[in-house]
């Protein structure tokens, strides 16, 4: 008997319980186990281990299930709020970009008129125009950063997201 | 018979697809149902992996939080139970690495270095232990095993998973699954039998 036969026997012993083995393999294994005490010993150990492990019972308590559900629901609520907040930031960002782009020409002309009327040098006017041009985006960014998440609860966007999620379900 | 098997396959596909849709929406009803359906199986797996009931309960909750967060990654094409156990495996491994960062790697090295060959002969002490129904002793012997062996034994004997499924879940080659199963079984024998081999 060589190592290859032992390897085949071990493989068949391991598989026969769950995957199942072909009849020819089963017959070969039966003969092999009668002749090989090493493999027969492994066969017995495997059956014993399977029986022992299956006999161990671990039950989840009702309190564990309840607390798990509570934690999962709370986390789901947090994720929904984060999602709604991210949506609000994205919409605000897009509005800021659109507003800044559309008003760029107006601000530039306004700056030119102010500079001409007051006789200001272009070194002051140009940064000023730039500041006013970016003002909507800066205001939105400050509001987004300082806006407490607690105040977000009940906002129009929050209600919109809740309705959307309800609609999806 | 073929029709029944086909019908059962369709039902399973539909069920898995429904779970995937529910997880993508983070539907609380779907999550509640899944927690109830897999409560004992998941806790049992984690308890065997960690060897500690309190830790297993913490990881149980952590697993479901991760299912919620990563639910959109489940495509509904594979069995949900396998995907759930993969999440649980990763949660448990993260925990074991934090607790003892070197232990898992050390066990892997030792395992890879050793050849896969049948070892000592003799009567199985399990036969006596099982006959005596000494559950506490069996549990203690099992808890003595390194986590990587315990995991494969639990997935195989309690979850009735195929060797290929275990390999996929744990992320190791099929040959390594067989080695761990063999070594796990053989390592249990002397412990239960008072060292007789």
Q: CA-CA distance, A83 to A93, in Å (whole number)?
A: 15
Q: CA-CA distance, B166 to B169, in Å (whole number)?
A: 5
pLDDT at A1 over 80: no
pLDDT at B195 over 80: no
* Residue A154: pLDDT band with limits 50, 70, 90: low
Verify whether the Cβ–Cβ distance B185 to A46 is below 8 Å: yes
pLDDT of residue B99: 75
B142 close contact with A: CB closer than 8 A: yes
* Residue B166: pLDDT band with limits 50, 70, 90: very high
pLDDT of residue A152: 55
Sign of CA dihedral B124, B177, B74, B64: positive
Sign of CA dihedral A75, A78, A84, A85: negative
Verify whether the Cβ–Cβ distance B142 to A169 is below 8 Å: no
* pLDDT tens profile B1-20: 555 555 555 555 588 899 99
Q: CA-CA distance, B183 to B170, in Å (whole number)?
A: 17
With contacts defined as CB-CB under 8 Å, which chain B residues touch A75? 65, 68-69
Q: Which domains does chain B have, with CATH numbers?
A: 2-99 (1.10.1740.10), 103-192 (1.10.10.10)
Verify whether the Cβ–Cβ distance A18 to B160 is below 8 Å: yes
Verify whether the Cβ–Cβ distance B138 to A55 is below 8 Å: yes
B123 close contact with A: CB closer than 8 A: yes
Q: CA-CA distance, A68 to A121, in Å (whole number)?
A: 67
| Cβ contacts of A32 within 8 Å, gap of 6 or more | A5, A9, A39
pLDDT of residue A65: 94
pLDDT of residue A104: 79
**Bigger pLDDT: B101 vs B195:** B101
Gyration radius of chain B over CA positions: 19
Q: A48 to chain B nearest CA, in Å?
A: 5
Q: Is residue B30 within 8 Å of A69, Cβ to Cβ?
A: no
Mean pLDDT in residue range A40-45? 88
Q: Establish, for the pair of chains A and B, how many residue pairs have beta carbons separated by less than 8 Å.
A: 145
B70 close contact with A: CB closer than 8 A: no
* pLDDT tens profile B35-80: 999 999 999 999 888 888 899 999 999 999 999 999 999 988 888 9
Q: CA-CA distance, B93 to B105, in Å (whole number)?
A: 11
Query: Number of helices (H) and strands (E), helices first, in chain B?
Result: 11, 0
pLDDT of residue A155: 59
Average pLDDT along chain B: 78
* pLDDT tens profile B107-144: 444 444 443 333 333 445 555 444 555 666 777 788 88
* pLDDT tens profile A2-17: 778 888 999 999 998 8
Question: What is the ipTM score, two decimals?
Answer: 0.70
- Burial classification of residue B188, based on how many CB atoms lie within 10 Å of its CB (0-12 exposed, 13-18 middle, 19 or more buried): buried
Of residues B61, B119, B124, nearest to A71 (C-beta): B61
Q: CA-CA distance, A22 to A17, in Å (whole number)?
A: 12
Delimit the domains of chain A by residue range: 3-55, 77-168
Q: Is residue B186 within 8 Å of A42, Cβ to Cβ?
A: yes
pLDDT at B91 over 80: yes
pLDDT of residue A63: 92
Of residues B32, B68, B154, nearest to A53 (C-beta): B154
Q: CA-CA distance, B169 to B92, in Å (whole number)?
A: 13
CA distances from B133 to A51, B114, B128, B163, B192 (A): 10, 33, 9, 28, 12
pLDDT of residue B122: 43
């Amino acid at each position: 008997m060589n190592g290859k036969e032992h390897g085949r026997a071990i493989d068949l012993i391991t598989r026969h319980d769950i995957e199942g083995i072909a009849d020819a393999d089963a017959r070969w294994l039966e003969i092999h186990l009668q002749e090989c005490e090493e493999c027969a010993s492994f066969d017995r150990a495997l059956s014993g281990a399977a029986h022992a492990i299956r006999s161990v019972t671990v039950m989840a308590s009702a309190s564990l299930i309840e607390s798990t559900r509570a934690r999962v629901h709370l986390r789901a609520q947090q994720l929904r709020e984060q999602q709604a907040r991210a949506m609000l930031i994205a919409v605000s960002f897009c509005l800021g970009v659109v507003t800044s782009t559309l008003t760029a020409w107006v601000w530039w002309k306004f700056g030119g008129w102010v500079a001409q009327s007051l006789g200001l040098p272009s070194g002051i006017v140009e940064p000023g125009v730039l500041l006013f041009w970016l003002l909507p985006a800066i205001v939105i960014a400050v509001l987004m950063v300082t806006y407490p998440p607690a105040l977000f609860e009940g906002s129009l966007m929050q209600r919109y997201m809740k309705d959307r999620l309800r609609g999806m379900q | 018979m073929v029709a029944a098997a086909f019908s059962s396959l369709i039902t399973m596909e539909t069920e898995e697809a429904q779970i995937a849709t529910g997880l993508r929406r983070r539907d609380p009803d779907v999550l509640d149902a899944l927690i109830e359906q897999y409560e004992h199986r998941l806790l049992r797996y984690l308890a065997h992996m960690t060897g500690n009931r309190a830790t297993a309960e913490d990881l149980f909750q952590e697993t479901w939080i991760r299912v919620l967060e990563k639910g959109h990654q489940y495509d509904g094409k594979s069995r949900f139970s396998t995907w759930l156990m993969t999440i649980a495996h990763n949660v448990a491994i993260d925990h074991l690495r934090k607790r003892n960062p070197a232990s898992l790697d050390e066990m892997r090295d030792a395992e890879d270095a050793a050849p896969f060959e049948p070892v000592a002969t003799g009567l199985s002490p399990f036969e006596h232990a099982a006959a005596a129904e000494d559950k506490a002793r069996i549990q203690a012997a099992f808890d003595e095993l390194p986590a990587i062996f315990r995991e494969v034994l639990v997935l195989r004997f309690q979850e009735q998973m195929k060797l290929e499924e275990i390999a996929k879940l744990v992320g190791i080659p099929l040959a390594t699954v067989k080695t761990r199963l063999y070594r796990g079984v053989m390592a249990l024998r002397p412990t239960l039998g008072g060292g007789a081999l």
